[in-house]
Chains A and B, each alone.
Chain A
Amino acid sequence: MSDSTPESGAAAPRFEPFGFLRDLASRWDLAAFVVVIGLIAFLGNAARGMFVPLAQLRVTPMSLDPYFLPMYAARTTLRMLIALFASLVFTLTYATWAAKSERAGKLLVPILDILQSVPIFGFLSVTYVFFMSLAPGRVLGAEFASIFLIFTSQAWNMAFSFYQSLRTIPTELSEAAESFRLSPWMRFWQLEVPFGLPALIWNMMMSMSGGWFFVVASESISVGRTSVTLPGVGSYIALAIEQRNLKAIGWAILTMFLVILAYDQLLFRPLVAWVDRFRVEQEPGLREPQSWALTMMRRSRLIQAARLAFHATVLWTSRVVQRYDPPPPDPQGLRRSRGKDRIWVALVAVLVLLGVWRLAADLVSNTGLREFLHVVTLALLTMVRVFVLIGLASLIWVPIGVWVGLRPRVAEYVQPIAQFMAAFPANLLFPIAIYGIVVLKLKPDIWLSPLMILGTQWYILFNVIAGAAALPTELRYASANLGLRGWLWWRKVALPGVLPYYVTGAITASGGSWNAAQVAELVSWGHTTIEARGLGSYIADATAAGNFHHIVLGVGVMSLFVVALNRLFWRPLYYYAERKFRLT
């Protein structure tokens, strides 16, 4: 979003042989060209598959031949991209609406807050049926369902972060925009979006890891008697599990590794490096994020041209959309708007009550109190699992994180690895663990549990690393100077110093683990199925049986637990840590 800058201080022209060639295309253009065309071909091919009739899927069944893996990976990637784009559109509209309209915000923000903590994964089967009916007989319906699921794993926290950015725009920037009479449209693109971008991109990255988990889990699903298998890495894995093919699983893991690596290098690294300039704190950062892909994009004229076009569009649309100057204030208006407020609140209340009543009536008539108590017991079991696992993971990763964080050279290498591990869909690794459990005949109630935290423990690690790295150098010198060592040092310096960061990581890890429980408590290897008692396996069982009421009950109780834990445990802990131990 920069450009049209006048050339400044042009040096005297120097003769260069074949200079015209240089003008035509820079070295970076070639690289950019190859990358762009390659991506288009890769994804375009995948897109064609979405529109074929459903029957085609049965005619061409999945194959475990690694030759097909690139194509499967492309389909998976495409789903991810579409979902990401949808999340972005949702974010820019929903969050803006919530922030701009006080009336709408009252309802939209709490909804977002709940959606954020509800494990939507459990509704997979319900959404599947719905979307299949939208495009009957076409793969598209199933694709929609899968994409919608990924969307639900990404959109909420992105929207939340953008909403918060909108609410925290520095007063003076906002006043500057106002006093130069920017139209709301221009204000949105020139002030609000750029200001919200850094946080939004960061949340997009966090969302991605959830997204990969879902995309893998949602490609192959059976609800009752209906079952669909969309071509993709997730289905490939499912097939490999069914056929007990460890080698194929290895191939899938390798493929996913490469795909995520590509996403990281081609999408997020450039984005992170690019948005660095959008940070409002104008002190030069410690170290600017680097990205070879961004360098390529900046230096390449092709991509530069695309960016210029975007910038020009923003400016052009700004010209088209007029500024609307409000009429002089009207004392009557205030009273009228208060009346409208009341109507709005009443409307919302009625809708909520209706919904609750419908749901309650439905559940009561179809499930008894005993079922409910049973589900609560299972939820408690899962809760114990989550807490024990978070505790264990903390015991391991906090000391390691602190050790790494205090050594910038090491952190430089470890931090990206930890972030990468967090993005890697842990469910791909499940088969290996399951294989072990089956072969060694271990107790599933205990040994299946670690799977829940396999993918989420990394949040603890990289947050602690960040916290330790942020420990002021002078504080470290001072404690060395005082001769603080051993346990005393941990108790008085390291642990309080990283606590706010640790809590952030633990919250994310806990939320993720609840979600993962639905996949991790019920697993199979070929025809062997092993199950750990808990809410996750309850939901998974209900899904397989197509028992709608049990699914709703299970997911409802899980949501209740997650929301209650957030409100009563994590949030107070977070504020306590922030208030007491935040150093900067």
Chain B
Amino acid sequence: MNGSAALLKCTGIRKAFPKPDGGELLVLEGMDLEIHEGEIIGLLGRSGSGKSTLLRLIAGLAEPSAGELSYLGQPIYGPAPGIAMVFQSFALFPWLTVYENVALGLEAQRMPKAEIRKRSLAAIDLIGLDGFESAYPRELSGGMRQRVGFARALVVHPNILLMDEPFSALDVLTAETLRTDFLDLWSEGRMPIKGVVLVTHNIEEAVLMCDRILVFGSNPGRILSEIKVALPQPRNRLDPSFRDQVERIYVEMTARPTGSAAVGRQERFPGLGIGSVLPPVSSNAQAGLIEAVAAPPFNGKADLPEIASDLQMEIDELFPVAETLQMMRFAELEGGDLKITDDGLAFAHADQDERKRIFRRHLLAYVPLAAHIRRVLDERTSHSARKTRFIDELEDFMGEEDAEHTLRAVVHWGRYAEAFAYDDGNEVFSLENPS
């Protein structure tokens, strides 16, 4: 797990994309990482934390803006021969059979025909695809398709296998079978690979498979902490030490950003300017989570891993909702727990009209953009304003796409709260419907 020479080394990696206005969008910063022989490393984080970007940098599919990447001591420019990748959406060529898909990487290496055949059949055999050689991807189930994805990556005998959320497009049962099969092959040493990098947003998956987990934070993407998982394989999800590990990661991921010493009341609810990106979390999702946590057995306070498994939500879905509740002061998020505030409880027990009133009060008090829109509409004699007016303002703080999403989120909340109306056809905000 350690001691041996690094297979792959990343130092001071930074990645930024240029923005149309001349600025840049920072996705990754200060990324240091080493991968040693015999370990599975997990890159865990929410969408937008840059973990997939890092994987693509390692794969040579993109270039870092600064920093160095080296594989076996050689700098990486473009895809290196010893690094293969498994994709989230499988990325199989639909016009090629299973066999041809697997053989493609070897064809690209211009290997002798007989050798290609031998190795492709061996990979197909290893991954349990015997008998499917002449099938086309569309004839296969999701699990079988991802097996082809694995075979295709393994056939080139890579030293490092990169996996980009390889199980997230599969149903729960299939994903579990594939994980177990993969771990079996790995621990028996039957795969020609020396190290694995797994990108995931599923905490349990990370704990189940990885030797080392790097927890990513967002804005910009960076490594928050590194967690070693010393549990012996095969691991059992129900094992208390396993649960403990999962719980620790939840705590890690909901922790306040370091550096803020004063933990006053204000600090616990991160302050928002008008230029914060708002998540696309519907009022229904917020209401749903409030109700779920307010009700027994949680009675107003829930452990995140528990509520996640109870609602069958992945962290990628759960965290944005929880954080929105925190922003709206309907809940507090700390130490891996979600605690509903008094107003949140009042909301849970209110009827429809009362809920809207509470929601409106909180929206206008705690979401500066909503308050700003309302103020502009109140001030104007026409009580209307064009969408572009606000988009322009937002674009001083964020990219075009984020501005669009943020405005869409605030439109949804404003409509639910009946704080203002919006006509999508004319792209105009107004005070028409509300009281």
Q: Is the pair B138, A179 in contact by a Cβ cutoff of 8 Å?
A: no
- Using an 8 Å CB-CB cutoff, how does the interface string of A154-185 with B read, 1 for contact, 0 for none? 00000000000000001011011011111100
Q: Contacts A180-B105, A180-B156, A182-B108 known; A175 to B133 CB distance under 8 Å?
A: no
Please tell me which stretch of A4-12, A400-408, A508-516 contacts chain B, meaning at least 4 of its Cβ atoms lie within 8 angstroms of it. Answer: A4-12
**Bound CA span A326–B100, Å:** 27
Given the complex, which residues of B lie within 8 Å of A173, measured CB to CB? 91, 93
Q: Contacts A6-B133, A172-B89, A277-B138 known; A179 to B59 CB distance under 8 Å?
A: yes
Q: Is the pair B99, A6 in contact by a Cβ cutoff of 8 Å?
A: yes
**Bound CA span A191–B104, Å:** 11
**Using a Cβ–Cβ cut-off of 8 Å, how many residues does chain B contribute to the interface with A?**
44
Number of A-B contacts (CB under 8 A): 109
- Using an 8 Å CB-CB cutoff, how does the interface string of A183-199 with B read, 1 for contact, 0 for none? 10010001100100000
Q: Contacts A9-B131, A179-B83, A190-B93 known; A315 to B99 CB distance under 8 Å?
A: no
Q: Is the pair A323, B108 in contact by a Cβ cutoff of 8 Å?
A: yes
Q: Which residue of B84, B99, B137, B138 is within 8 Å of A5 (Cβ)?
A: B99
Given the complex, which residues of A lie within 8 Å of B130, measured CB to CB? 8
Q: Is the pair B87, A279 in contact by a Cβ cutoff of 8 Å?
A: no
Given the complex, which residues of B lie within 8 Å of A329, measured CB to CB? 63, 77
Whether B94 sits at the interface, judged by CB under 8 Å, is yes
Whether B107 sits at the interface, judged by CB under 8 Å, is yes
Q: Is the pair A328, B87 in contact by a Cβ cutoff of 8 Å?
A: no
**Bound CA span A175–B91, Å:** 8
Rounded to whole Å, the gap between the CB of B138 and the closest CB of chain A is 5
Q: Contacts A2-B100, A9-B131, A282-B137 known; A176 to B78 CB distance under 8 Å?
A: no
Whether A1 sits at the interface, judged by CB under 8 Å, is yes
Rounded to whole Å, the gap between the CB of B369 and the closest CB of chain A is 25
Q: Is the pair A175, B108 in contact by a Cβ cutoff of 8 Å?
A: no
Whether B409 sits at the interface, judged by CB under 8 Å, is no
Closest to B99 in A: A5
Q: Is the pair A325, B156 in contact by a Cβ cutoff of 8 Å?
A: no
Chain A interface extent, by class: 35 or more
Q: Which residue of A6, A191, A194, A326 is within 8 Å of B117 (Cβ)?
A: A6
Whether B281 sits at the interface, judged by CB under 8 Å, is no
Whether A278 sits at the interface, judged by CB under 8 Å, is yes
Whether B434 sits at the interface, judged by CB under 8 Å, is no
Whether B255 sits at the interface, judged by CB under 8 Å, is no
Whether A318 sits at the interface, judged by CB under 8 Å, is yes
Interface set, chain B 127-153, CB cutoff 8 A to A: 130-131, 133-134, 136-138, 145, 152
Whether B81 sits at the interface, judged by CB under 8 Å, is yes
Q: Contacts A2-B95, A278-B95, A282-B138 known; A179 to B107 CB distance under 8 Å?
A: no
Q: Is the pair A2, B61 in contact by a Cβ cutoff of 8 Å?
A: no
Whether B385 sits at the interface, judged by CB under 8 Å, is no
- Using an 8 Å CB-CB cutoff, how does the interface string of B74-109 with A read, 1 for contact, 0 for none? 010111010111011111111111011000110111
Rounded to whole Å, the gap between the CB of B22 and the closest CB of chain A is 15
Whether B121 sits at the interface, judged by CB under 8 Å, is yes
Interface set, chain B 37-81, CB cutoff 8 A to A: 56, 59-61, 63, 75, 77-79, 81
Whether A319 sits at the interface, judged by CB under 8 Å, is yes
**Bound CA span A5–B60, Å:** 31
Q: Which residue of B61, B78, B93, B105 is within 8 Å of A175 (Cβ)?
A: B61
- State the main secondary structure of chain B at its contact with A: loop
Q: Is the pair A180, B78 in contact by a Cβ cutoff of 8 Å?
A: no
Q: Which residue of A2, A172, A180, A323 is within 8 Å of B104 (Cβ)?
A: A180
Whether A284 sits at the interface, judged by CB under 8 Å, is yes
Given the complex, which residues of A lie within 8 Å of B100, measured CB to CB? 2-5
Given the complex, which residues of B lie within 8 Å of A315, measured CB to CB? 107
Q: Is the pair B85, A176 in contact by a Cβ cutoff of 8 Å?
A: yes
Q: Is the pair B94, A179 in contact by a Cβ cutoff of 8 Å?
A: no
Whether B380 sits at the interface, judged by CB under 8 Å, is no
Whether A280 sits at the interface, judged by CB under 8 Å, is yes
Closest to A283 in B: B138
**Bound CA span A9–B56, Å:** 39
Rounded to whole Å, the gap between the CB of B170 and the closest CB of chain A is 14
Q: Is the pair A325, B137 in contact by a Cβ cutoff of 8 Å?
A: no
**Bound CA span A1–B77, Å:** 32
Given the complex, which residues of A lie within 8 Å of B61, measured CB to CB? 175, 178-179
Rounded to whole Å, the gap between the CB of B151 and the closest CB of chain A is 13
Whether B389 sits at the interface, judged by CB under 8 Å, is no
Q: Which residue of A4, A181, A280, A328 is within 8 Å of B79 (Cβ)?
A: A181
Rounded to whole Å, the gap between the CB of B273 and the closest CB of chain A is 32
Q: Is the pair A179, B99 in contact by a Cβ cutoff of 8 Å?
A: no
Q: Is the pair A179, B85 in contact by a Cβ cutoff of 8 Å?
A: yes
**Bound CA span A325–B59, Å:** 15
Given the complex, which residues of A lie within 8 Å of B156, measured CB to CB? 180
Q: Is the pair A186, B107 in contact by a Cβ cutoff of 8 Å?
A: yes
Interface set, chain A 241-255, CB cutoff 8 A to B: none
Q: Which residue of B89, B97, B107 is within 8 Å of A2 (Cβ)?
A: B97
Whether B265 sits at the interface, judged by CB under 8 Å, is no
Given the complex, which residues of A lie within 8 Å of B137, measured CB to CB? 282
- Using an 8 Å CB-CB cutoff, how does the interface string of B109-131 with A read, 1 for contact, 0 for none? 11000000100010000000011
Q: Is the pair B94, A183 in contact by a Cβ cutoff of 8 Å?
A: no
Q: Is the pair A194, B95 in contact by a Cβ cutoff of 8 Å?
A: yes
Q: Contacts A6-B117, A180-B156 known; A279 to B133 CB distance under 8 Å?
A: no
Please list the residues of chain B having a beta carbon within 8 angstroms of any beta carbon in chain A.
56, 59-61, 63, 75, 77-79, 81, 83-85, 87-97, 99-100, 104-105, 107-110, 117, 121, 130-131, 133-134, 136-138, 145, 152, 156
Cross-chain pairs A/B with CB under 8 angstroms, 26 sampled: A2-B100, A5-B99, A5-B133, A5-B134, A6-B99, A8-B130, A8-B134, A172-B88, A172-B90, A172-B91, A175-B61, A176-B87, A176-B91, A178-B79, A179-B60, A179-B83, A180-B84, A186-B107, A277-B94, A279-B94, A282-B145, A283-B138, A315-B107, A318-B108, A328-B75, A329-B63
Name the 3 nearest CB pairs between A and B, nearest first: A172-B91, A180-B105, A5-B134
